[in-house]
Amino acid sequence: MATLQAASFCCCCSSSSASFRKIKATLNAQKFLSSSNHHSLPRLLVDELNQSKRLQTFKPDLTQIEMKPKIETKAVKELYAIMGIVADRTEMHKNLGFQRDNWNHLLLTSVNGMTVTAATMAGLVAVSGVGVAAPVVLALKLSSSLLYMAVTGILLVMNKIQPSQLAEEQRNASRLFKQLHEDIKMTLALQNPTEDDVEDAMNKVLALDKAYPLPLLGTMLDKFPKKVEPAVWWPKHYLKTQQEKDNGKVNRNGWNEKLEEEMREVLGVMKRKDEAEYVRLSKVVLKVNKILAVCGPLFSGMAAVGSILQGLPFIGSWGAFLAVMFGALATVVNTVEHGGQVGMVFEMYRDSAGFFRLMEETIESNLKEEEADRRENGELLEVKVALQLGRSLSELRDIASTTSSLSSRISPDKDEFGSKLF
């Protein structure tokens, strides 16, 4: 009996140990599979194992869901085509912005290096003694003169095209084309496009092409205009189209007398303070840029004349003085103008004035429309204006109430600027 009990105990122990080893092996196999999913097993095998375990992964394509309209109409296809062209324009302007910014840095470095080299050669000619061979002195004089003349020619071209201003134009164009691309995407996602949407998108593309041209020759913007005006990059009928799109008929379309008065006051502040200030700054920067653009080539030209006249009996040491002195002045002027990117600052101020001009025209066009249902939604317009000015709704209303006070009307110069962003 004892023998039978011992035998059954041994069988139980052996069977339990065998089952324990089987369970342990199974756990190790599962651990190996989970650890090797990202390392040794191919991706296809892992997917098959997941399917066998009835594990499914779902990754919704949100972009296609958002962008796919319900009806493939002619207007939808045309808007898709325009959106592709706008994306291409964005990339073109972005690349040109990098290229013209490189022009500014490379040309400035080259011009300053040539000017310093020419001034050094002119100084060596002045301090050369009797023992120096005449051909060496002549070579230094000619080299200095040629370098100064080359610098003068390059400066005339640089000051004409203003590479830093060209780069700023392309950066602004890239940003605005990207914004237009997002607007078309929203139109395709949130509504059924019509032929009016197609025409509006085409007009915006053409307006941007006119405001920020790609080529240099023929259509380049005047870098020294006689009259400074804010930049305009929107079509003439843009505001009317926006009002027709945002047409609503609930509660006077979000308008009331208090909101109309508030918008009028904000409009007055932007005209008197924000736009006027940036136009004034543009004029100041343009005057400075004109002076620098004239002085740079003039100083390098004077240095070239002084280098040529070096060694003549009736000139004496004045030739070396002109060559070295005006060469140094030309280097300083070029560094201030192109290193400081004065042209870019002028374009930045002009575009900022254009930003406020667009906001003013948007508000004016809504206020001039007598029927509230044909205006853009008033509450939405108030939110947009507040955010574009970098203010909350309460701050925007405070500006309107402060401006409408009697003391502010008597001394408008004490008004606060409308924008907190610029």
Q: Give the mean pLDDT of 160-171.
A: 95
> Which two structure tokens, joined as six digits, stand for 32?
């190996």
Nearest to 243 by CA among 358, 387, 373: 373
Q: What angle in degrees, to the nearest 10, is found between the helix axes of 163-190 and 74-127?
A: 170
Q: Give the mean pLDDT of 346-356.
A: 94
How many beta carbons lie within 10 A of that of residue 68, not counting itself? 12
* Pairwise CA distance, residues 85 & 281, whole Å: 35
Q: What is the pLDDT of residue 372?
A: 80
> Which two structure tokens, joined as six digits, stand for 368?
């001039």
Question: Could you report how far apart the first and last alpha carbons of the chain are, in Å?
Answer: 101
pLDDT tens digits, residue range 213-226? 988 887 889 999 99
- Report yes or no: 79 and 197 within 8 Å, Cβ to Cβ: yes
Q: What is the pLDDT of residue 225?
A: 92
Average pLDDT, the chain: 80
Residue position matching structure tokens 């003039």: 298
Q: How confident is the model at residue 347 (pLDDT cuts 50, 70, 90)?
A: very high
Q: What is the pLDDT of residue 8?
A: 44
Residue 323 has pLDDT above 60, yes or no: yes
How many beta carbons lie within 10 A of that of residue 150, not counting itself? 17
Q: How confident is the model at residue 158 (pLDDT cuts 50, 70, 90)?
A: very high
Q: What is the pLDDT of residue 279?
A: 95
* Pairwise CA distance, residues 80 & 261, whole Å: 41
Amino acid present at 251:
N
* Pairwise CA distance, residues 213 & 159, whole Å: 19
Q: What is the pLDDT of residue 10?
A: 39
Residue 98 has pLDDT above 90, yes or no: yes
For 406, left (φ over 0), alpha (ψ -120 to 50), or beta? alpha
Highest average pLDDT, of 132-146, 336-350, 407-421, comes from: 336-350
Tell me the percentage of the chain whose pLDDT exceeds 70.
75
Q: What is the pLDDT of residue 374?
A: 83
400 vs 396: which has the higher pLDDT = 396
Nearest to 310 by CA among 117, 174, 133, 144: 144
Q: What is the pLDDT of residue 132?
A: 64
Q: Give the mean pLDDT of 96-108.
A: 94
pLDDT tens digits, residue range 185-201? 999 998 888 898 999 99
Q: How confident is the model at residue 311 (pLDDT cuts 50, 70, 90)?
A: confident
How many beta carbons lie within 10 A of that of residue 342, not counting itself? 21
pLDDT tens digits, residue range 249-281? 445 788 888 999 999 999 999 999 999 999 999
> Which two structure tokens, joined as six digits, stand for 325?
């002195």
Q: Give the mean pLDDT of 370-381.
A: 86
